[in-house]
Amino acid sequence: MSTFQKFKALHASNELLVLPNAWDARSAIVFEQYGFPAVATSSAAVANSLGYEDGENMSFEDYLFVIRRILSSIHVPLTVDIETGYSADDDAIADNVLHLADLGVAGINIEDSVIHGAERSLKDAALFARTISHIKKRLKSRGIDLFVNIRCDCYILNVENKQQETIRRLKLYNPSGADGIFVPCIQNESDIAEVAASSSLPLNVMCIPGLPDLDTLNRLGVKRVSMGPFMFHKVYAGISTLSKAIVSSRSFTPILS
């Protein structure tokens, strides 16, 4: 069974796929050691770990270095958050996706919003669906299978009528060839159930305050839940606390005890 097939099968299981988001090789190794069956990257966490803000501010080459190190360090499937694809051109986006596929990643996550300056807004849904179709066509031309997860940003952007707009967009995305859908920041149980029922594609949600527990998500029809940058932020909050303690105590006891 190929890495893609293993990864895709995790979305068809009766068990919810809990997907941790790594930011470097060491975090990915820890996730694998604790039994997670696959690992994702968080573009925000990787960017922050390299001193950049999220939103494609790090170069794709910098990102590729981290991805290569993770791939060389774990044995479970890796899926990569590529934000908007690191280009506005469909061919260039597809080239980037093919590069990742050649490295050995099992999947990608690509979002249907775009940043203009300091503002993020939704892309035209029909145009985005064509971008996904183009990516899948290019992959097929090379005989490559890759799990393409579409991130629909209506909730993360809190747009007007976000539930209705999410469902409208997913109906356009279903025929694009995508393998999964991702709706970050959705948390209401009835909303989650309606979105899950509105698409034939497996639904991915993200951990946020107020998200139902894992058993409830499984019952609602969710197939995948990811951690986003929250683990990264928690780890670095701990580093901040320890650094403050060293300064205030004028000793290394906080990191040695």
pLDDT at 117: 72
Average pLDDT over the chain reads 96
Q: What is the DSSP track for the chain?
A: --HHHHHHHHTTSSS-EEE-EESSHHHHHHHHHTT-S-EEE-HHHHHHHTT--TTT-S-HHHHHHHHHHHHTT-SS-EEEE-TT-SSSSHHHHHHHHHHHHHHT-SEEEEESEEEETTEEEEPPHHHHHHHHHHHHHHHHHTT---EEEEEP-TTTTT-TTHHHHHHHHHHHHGGGT-SEEE-TT---HHHHHHHHHH-SSPEEEE--TTPPPHHHHHHHTEEEEE-TTHHHHHHHHHHHHHHHHHHHHTSSHHHH-
pLDDT in tens, 46-93: 999 999 999 899 999 999 999 999 999 999 999 999 999 999 999 999
Query: Per-residue pLDDT averaged across 232-239, rounded?
Result: 97
Query: Per-residue pLDDT averaged across 148-174, rounded?
Result: 97
pLDDT at 186: 98
pLDDT at 119: 85
pLDDT at 1: 81
pLDDT at 115: 83
Q: Which is higher by pLDDT, 117 or 18? A: 18
pLDDT at 118: 74
